[in-house]
Chain A
Amino acid sequence: MESATTNSNASGDLLQRQYWDLKYISGPLLFLGDGGRFATGSIVDVIQENGDVRQGQVLEATKTHAVVQVLQGTQGLDIKNTSVSLKDDAARVSCSIDVIGRRFNGTGEPIDGLPPVVADEERDIQGSSINPVARDAPKDFIETGISSIDAFNTLVRGQKLPIFFGSGMPANQVANMIVQQSATKGDDEQFVVVFGAMGITQREAAYFLRSFDEGGQGSRVVAFINQANDPAIERLFTPRCALTVSEYLAFEHGYQVLTILTDMTNYCDALRQVASAREEIPGRRGYPGYMYTDLSSIYERAGRIRGGKGSVTQIPMLSMPDDDMTHPIPDLTGYITEGQIVLQRSLHRQGVFPPVDVLPSLSRLMNNGIGEGLTRKDHRELANQLYASYAHGRDIKKLMAIVGEDALSDLDRKYLAFTEAFDKELIGQGESRRTIEESLELGWQLLTIIPREELTRINKDLVDRYYSQYMEDGVQSPYLES
């Protein structure tokens, strides 16, 4: 990060100079007469006649103009009496160990009534790419206490695993459950939650902060909060502030950082707002063509570094407009992140909590984090078998809706019973916390509903050991009767 840490201020002379040649204002953008004065990415003060100051960032520079995006919006600005002066050569956030436990707004100003943090380092929020050869492959299992994640879509340290949900689904509760219960195995290490909120409501923000406090995590949380009524363009800065602080804590101080970003859909809408003000050619649904690249500059800031202790694990949350997973925001996100946790409306309606639909959910790094020595030897094959059986059962359920229950064979009925128990017991655990062993054992118990010969995804030795245990060795499976 050398390039980001040097020359935190441009020369004093430039800082003082005010420019009055505003030419054009459109949406959140402001056009100045000469592009030669500011470097792209610089932060400027936009000063009104009455002394009010807003912040802007230089997006583009040509000979005839500089384009400045104004974070607080351009409402109330005029061309004649507004001036612009350079503040910093890049957007920065104060990094220090003292940020832990503090609350900031979307651009990193304190909002908890305490004085500003004495910065150890003022870091450029843009960040730099981690050199792929410096990365350490994520492999440490994080036990979230949620069966549908631990057993089927295992989260590992350094992963980026988003939660996709539709409006009205209890995504915040799921995220909070993860925060409260995420104890990694061998947990004597420093753990901290960095919370970046973009455009969420007062109620949601209050829910999170209260839950963090009640769960005893309050002192381990750094929060960057941009609420729904805060300036939209600030949202472009919020996740970057949160991640810059995350990287600082993880890679300078060895913390295990869990970064929650919510709601990425609001972030993307702010991005679209700027793109349309710049009259760029819109891509799908009006979002800019570079949204993949832009999102990757956020999501890719997760991981571990060889030889280092810390990690940044990211859980971005995004609401799918109209529950549509092919909408550009979840679509592009899924292409960058290492899997996704998808919440399902019909499970939610049935009162299943957490309503995770395991079929479209996925953790790409699962195989790195499970198996002998990490979780349990039978984990992978058991999960594959449960998946296959559950998918088959769901097909039968669909078929039953068409042809009626009478047309089903005995085997079909067993699969049906299995699928229902799966939803109700394994997925629908409620607020309780399950260890990975408990989740896996429950999985085996459910498998006893279907005949042993069907378990071809699991190695015979493992079937002998576990299936028999639940069928024959006296451990009662509660589902045998159904």
Chain B
Amino acid sequence: MATTETALVGTLSRISGPMIAASGMLGATMGEIVRVGKLGLMGEIIRIDGDTVYAQVFEDTGGMYLGEEVHATGVALAVELGPGLLGSTYDGIQRPLITLQEQSGDFIGRGLTAVALDREKRWAFTPAVEAGAEVRQGDVLGTVQETITITHRVLVPPGMEGKLTSVAPEGEYTVEDTIAEFEDGTKLTMMHRWPVKRPRPIGRKLPSDRPFLTGQRVLDCLFPIAQGGSAIVPGGFGTGKTVVEQTLSKHCDAEIIVYVGCGERGNEMADVLTEFPELTDPNTGESLMNRTILVVNTSNMPVAARDASVYTGITLAEYYRDMGYNVALMADSTSRWAEALREISSRLEEMPGEEGYPTYLAARISEFYERSGRIVCAGKEAETDEPRVGSLTLVGAVSPPGGDFSEPVTQTSLRVAGGLWALDASLAYRRHYPAVNWNRSYSLYFSELDPWFEENAPAGWRDNRQQAVQLMQRDAELQEVVQLVGPDALQDTERLILEVSRMIREVFLQQNAFSDNDAYCSLDKNAGLLRALLDFYEESRKVLEQGVSLNRLLDLPIREDIARLRDVGNNEFAERRDDVVANMRGQLNGLIEKKG
């Protein structure tokens, strides 16, 4: 991380959309940030050819002339890390959107600069070490209460170690004030910079053994991923990728959420910005914005900044992970990022790979997903000598053209992600949300997670799941028969499977993200609801065996009561469920008695 100012200045020799070339730049490095033209637009060097460098520019290049100056800055694209990130909304290159609005009004101007962290704000710092302590990267220097719920651990930045000659006493400091000093005179502040394309150092990776709970029945029950794991959410337009990402941001059990809106809609972000501050964090009851960082680069914002935005997002996520938090990164949508890579690659006239995407697409995507994980953080928690454990869970939306999953971005992401939550247009058409296709989706984490569910979830969790999966599988087979010969050809026991599967789809797998009682589903309700449906199946089968006809069984009013269990709040659920199940047994037995 060179920070020395260089005086390297070249001249603009080519302008082609978001890509420029500049000559006279011998000595500039790959990945270095340049300032282009009179407006000083920010760009990143992506190719060097003799003394000519090619750069992707993070702002619109219209109106520039050849011959304008291009300044090398000597630094790579980096983000500012320190207290004040939570609750902020940044663009792809970490400029606070609020500051940009102050500078250029309701429309984003060009060539604006803005620092990410407020330089004036004073934070109450509590030191955790004393002068004379030997510290190394990742050690906790002290803490700041960043929001009501999140304690910000001020860490020794990566790559630094030594003996502290002084540590600031408890008090209020800005992010630029010195809070500690090494023997060699190096001063530490609460803020440091980190190049976004380099993963932050960790202690070591840990296996994942606990689930990333989402409050969504279909995901938690059928396709859970691990904390520190990754999943992709591919789906054609209108299948609800964004709603899934936003719902997870609201209800998942991570302590910090970084939401990257990459190449998506402006009105959606306006929605998030209006809604999130008013919602409460299910874990703490505080405002959701207290645990959220938004990185927003809408589709009409410059294309190169999409590339920056995903890296900015994941670096911010890693920073909080290093403090020992469970962080979730929502990337919506990774396809827009891939398209940005494709556009720049084509301007560079690189030999295209599949569907015009650059041949390094797969490498970029897998590097990105590998930055997720559950880890032992670098350094030691000073007071306890216990290692901190943090995790970064990554959920990436994918927008396959025409909803066809065989395209390169979906396929490449599948190779690295541990979970597939496949969204299905035919489910979305009938307003089955979340439109997760239960036959197509999968999770690779069952073996790691089953012990946790065994211990912490309601009894019978795994058996319930398997029973449900088998029923749905049997349903799929029977549907094929019905398509050929009609439902009349089936026996009552088989038609019962069709009916119960339909109930499972409508009552259990569907979930209304806009209903207060249904938007978030606890593990208890999740298990209880599925069990009620399976009980109905088992009891009904017994009744059928007694010779009762299916039609009479299906006329029972209890079916509606079971369906409405979905709308019972998490707290009242257990009691209501017991009533309904008891009632169900009563009604079913009534059928047998009437017969007898």
Q: Which residues of A come within 8 Å of B, CB atoms?
A: 1-3, 35-36, 38-42, 60-63, 89-90, 126-138, 158-159, 251, 280-284, 289-290, 292-293, 296-297, 300-303, 305-306, 308, 326, 328, 331-332, 334-336, 338-340, 359-360, 362, 364-365, 367-368, 380, 384, 387-388, 391-392, 399, 402-404, 407-409, 453, 456, 459-460
Q: Most chain-B CB neighbours within 10 Å: which of A2, A302, A453?
A: A453
Give Cα A38 to B62, complex, Å: 11
In the complex, identify which listed stretch (B216-224, B313-321, B399-407) lies at the interface while the others stay far away. B399-407
Assess the B343–A289 pair: CB atoms within 8 A.
Answer: yes
Q: Is the CB of A3 within 8 A of B15?
A: no
Say yes or no: A456 contacts B89, CB within 8 Å.
no
A133, A283, A384, A403: the one contacting B485 at CB < 8 Å is A403
Given known contacts A133-B98, A456-B560, A404 and B486 CB-to-CB distance under 8 angstroms: yes
Show 9 A/B contacts (Cβ-Cβ < 8 Å), sorted by A. Answer: A61-B15, A126-B60, A130-B106, A132-B270, A135-B266, A293-B339, A306-B106, A391-B430, A409-B551
Distance in angstroms from B307 CB to nearest chain A CB is 13
Task: Say yes or no: B89 contacts A133, CB within 8 Å.
Answer: yes
Q: Taking the complex as formed, is B109 at the interface, i.e. its CB lies under 8 A from any CB of chain A? A: yes
A373→B104 CA distance, assembly (Å): 36
Please determine whether B267 and A399 come into contact, CB atoms closer than 8 angstroms: no
Chain B residues contacting A132 (CB-CB under 8 Å) are 89, 97, 261, 266, 269-270, 273, 296, 298
Name the contact of B401 in the complex, choosing from A159, A328, A459, A460 (C-beta under 8 A): A328
Q: Which residue of B lies closest to A307 (CB)?
A: B106
Q: Is the CB of A290 within 8 A of B343?
A: yes
Q: Is B100 an interface residue (CB 8 A)?
A: yes
A305 to B425, CA, bound (A): 32
Q: Which residues of B contact A90 (CB under 8 A)?
A: 62-63
Are B62 and A41 in contact, with the CB atoms below 8 A?
Answer: yes
Q: Looking at the complex, which one of B16, B299, B356 makes contact with A60 (CB distance below 8 Å)?
A: B16
Contact of B339 among A63, A289, A453 (CB under 8 A): A289
- Interface membership of B115, Cβ < 8 A: no
Does B586 have its Cβ within 8 Å of any Cβ on chain A?
no
Quick check: B62 and A61 within 8 Å, CB to CB?
Answer: no
Asked if residues A392 and B100 are in contact (CB atoms below 8 Å), the reply is no
Q: In the complex, which residue of chain A has the Cβ closest to the Cβ of B485?
A: A403
Tell me the bound Cα distance from A36 to B404 in angstroms.
Answer: 44
Known contacts A3-B110, A134-B107, A391-B429, then 4 further A-B pairs from the complex at CB < 8 Å, ordered by chain A residue: A62-B15, A131-B97, A133-B101, A297-B300
Please measure, in the bound complex, the distance between the C-alpha atom of A116 and the C-alpha atom of B485, giving whole angstroms: 70
Query: Are B300 and A326 in contact (CB-based, < 8 A)?
Result: no
**How many angstroms from the CA of A250 to the CA of B237 in the assembled complex?**
29
Given contacts A135-B270, A359-B430, A360-B429, contact A293 B299 (CB under 8 A): yes
Q: Which residues of chain B have C-beta atoms less than 8 A from A133's C-beta?
A: 89, 97-98, 101, 273
B431 proximal to A (CB < 8 A): yes
Evaluate contact between B300 and A296: CB separation under 8 angstroms. yes
Of the candidates A138, A331, A332, A409, the one whose C-beta lies within 8 Å of that of B267 is A138
* Cβ-neighbour of B486 out of A336, A360, A407 (below 8 A): A407
> Would A326 and B97 be within 8 Å (CB), given that A336-B265, A409-B487 are in contact?
no
Instruction: Tell me, yes or no, whether B159 is within 8 Å of chain A by CB.
Output: no
Docked Cα-Cα span, A460 to B267, in Å, equals: 33
Please determine whether A392 and B430 come into contact, CB atoms closer than 8 angstroms: yes
In whole angstroms, what is the CA distance A380 to B512 when docked? Answer: 11
Q: Is B1 an interface residue (CB 8 A)?
A: no
Contact present for B237 and A331 (CB under 8 Å): yes
Interface status of B483 (Cβ within 8 A of chain A): yes
Q: Does the CB pair B266–A281 fall under 8 Å?
A: no
CB proximity of A4 to chain B, nearest CB, Å: 8
Q: Which residue of B lies closest to A394 (CB)?
A: B430
Going nearest first, the 9 A-B pairs with the smallest beta carbon separation are: A403-B486, A326-B402, A391-B430, A296-B299, A407-B486, A334-B237, A135-B270, A300-B300, A41-B62
Given contacts A137-B270, A303-B266, contact A289 B13 (CB under 8 A): no
Known: A131-B100, A132-B97, A133-B273. A300 touches B339 (CB 8 A): no
Residues of chain B within 8 A of A290, CB atoms compared: 17, 303, 339, 343
Among B109, B402, B560, which residue has its beta carbon within 8 angstroms of that of A2? B109
- Interface locus among B64-72, B75-83, B124-132, B281-289: B64-72
Selected contact of B62 from candidates A40, A339, A380, A407, CB within 8 Å:
A40
Tell whether, in the assembled complex, residue B64 and residue A40 are in contact, meaning their CB atoms are under 8 Å apart: yes
Interface residue from B299, B355, B401 paired with A300 (Cβ < 8 Å): B299
Least CB distance from B483 to A in Å reads 6
Smallest CB–CB gap between B488 and chain A, Å?
5
Query: Who on chain A is nearest to B352 by CB?
Result: A281
Q: How far is the CB of B556 from chain A (nearest CB, A)?
A: 9
Residue of A at shortest CB range from B303?
A293
**Which residues of the other chain, A, contact B97 by a CB distance below 8 angstroms?**
131-133
B266 touches A399 (CB 8 A): no
Distance of A388 Cα from B429 Cα, bound (Å): 9
Give B467-505 interface residues, CB cut-off 8 Å to A.
Answer: 482-488
Residues of B within 8 A of A126 (CB): 60, 62
A292 in contact with B299 (CB, 8 Å): yes
Partner of B298, one of A63, A300, A365: A300
A39 to B404, CA, bound (A): 40
Inter-chain contacts of B567 with A (CB < 8 A): 459
Given contacts A129-B300, A388-B430, A331 and B62 within 8 Å (CB-CB): no
Shortest CB–CB separation between residue B489 and chain A, in angstroms? 8
User: Please, which residues of chain A bring their CB within 8 A of the CB of B303?
Assistant: 290, 293
Query: Cβ of B564: which chain A residues have Cβ within 8 Å of it?
Result: 456, 460
Give the one of A60, A289, A460 with max B CB within 10 A: A289
Give the shortest distance, in Å, between B553 (CB) and chain A (any CB). Answer: 13
B14 within 8 A of A: yes
Which residue of chain B has its CB nearest to the CB of A385? B431
Q: Is there contact, CB below 8 Å, between A136 and B65? A: no
Report yes or no: B560 in contact with A129, Cβ–Cβ below 8 A: no
* B402 and A63 form a contact (CB under 8 A): no
Chain A residue, CB-CB nearest to B560: A453
B291 within 8 A of A: no
A128 touches B107 (CB 8 A): yes
CB distance from B338 to the nearest CB of A (A): 11
B596 at the interface (CB under 8 A from A): no
**Given known A60-B15, A130-B266, contact A339–B343 (CB-CB < 8 A):** no
**A210 smallest CB distance to B (angstroms):** 33
Contacts of B15 in A (CB 8 A): 35, 40, 60-62
Verify A380–B514 contact, CB threshold 8 A: yes
Find out whether the CB atom of B63 lies under 8 angstroms from the CB atom of A89. Answer: yes
Shortest Cβ gap from B274 to chain A (Å) = 5
**Nearest Cβ on chain A to B302's Cβ, whole angstroms:** 9
Q: Identify B487's interface contact among A128, A308, A334, A407, CB under 8 A.
A: A407
**Residues of chain B lying within 8 A (CB to CB) of residue A129:** 107-108, 266, 298, 300-301
Interface string of B512-533 (1 = CB under 8 A from A): 1010000000000000000000
Alpha-carbon distance A137/B272, docked complex (angstroms): 9
**B residues less than 8 Å from A335 (CB atoms):** 237, 399
Q: Bound state CA distance, A292 and B298, in angstroms?
A: 12
**Quick one: which of B67, B106, B432, B559 contacts A134, CB cutoff 8 A?**
B106
Q: How far is the CB of A35 from chain B (nearest CB, A)?
A: 5
Q: Which of B17, B63, B107, B482 contacts A131 (CB under 8 A)?
A: B107
For B346, what are the chain A residues with a Cβ–Cβ distance below 8 Å?
280-281, 289
B237–A453 contact, CB under 8 A?
no
B563: interface (CB < 8 Å)? yes
With both chains docked as a complex, state the minimum distance between the C-beta of A63 and any C-beta of chain B, in angstroms.
Answer: 5
Of residues 106 through 157 on chain B, the ones whose CB sits less than 8 Å from some CB of chain A are 106-110
Contact B267 A137 (CB under 8 A): yes
Beyond A90-B62, A403-B485, whether A63 also contacts B13 by CB under 8 A is yes
Are A334 and B238 in contact (CB-based, < 8 A)?
yes
Among B110, B237, B356, B506, the one with the most A-chain Cβ atoms within 10 Å of its Cβ is B237
